[in-house]
Amino acid sequence: MTGTFDFNNNSHRRYNPLSDSWVLVSPHRTQRPWQGQQEKTSSDSLPDYDATCYLCPGNTRATGPVNPKYESTFVFVNDYAAVKVDQPPYEPSESDKDMKSRLLKAQGTRGTCFVICFSPKHNVTLPLMRVPEIEYVLDTWTSLYYKMKTETPFRYLQIFENKGAVMGCSNPHPHCQAWCTESLPFEPAQEFRSLRSYTAKHGTCLLCDYASVEQQEASRIVLQNDSFMALVPFWAVWPFETMILAQSHTASLLDFTPKQKNDLADLMQKLTIRYDNLFQTSFPYSMGLHQAPINPVADEVDLSHFHMHFYPPLLRGATVRKFLVGFEMLGEPQRDLTAEQAADRIRAVDEVHYLLK
Active site residues: 175
Neighbours of 261 (CB within 10 A): 17
Residue 155 CA to residue 111 CA, distance in Å, equals 9
> Distance between CA atoms of 168 and 343, rounded to whole angstroms?
26
At a CB cut-off of 8 Å and minimum separation 6, what does 181 contact?
83, 109, 110, 111, 154, 155, 156, 158
d(CA 17, CA 46): 41
Which of 228, 235, 222 has the alpha carbon at shortest distance from 277? 222
Q: Letter for the amino acid at 53?
A: C
Cβ neighbours for 107, distance < 8 A, ≥ 6 positions apart: 90, 92, 183
Distance CA 148, CA 157 (A): 8
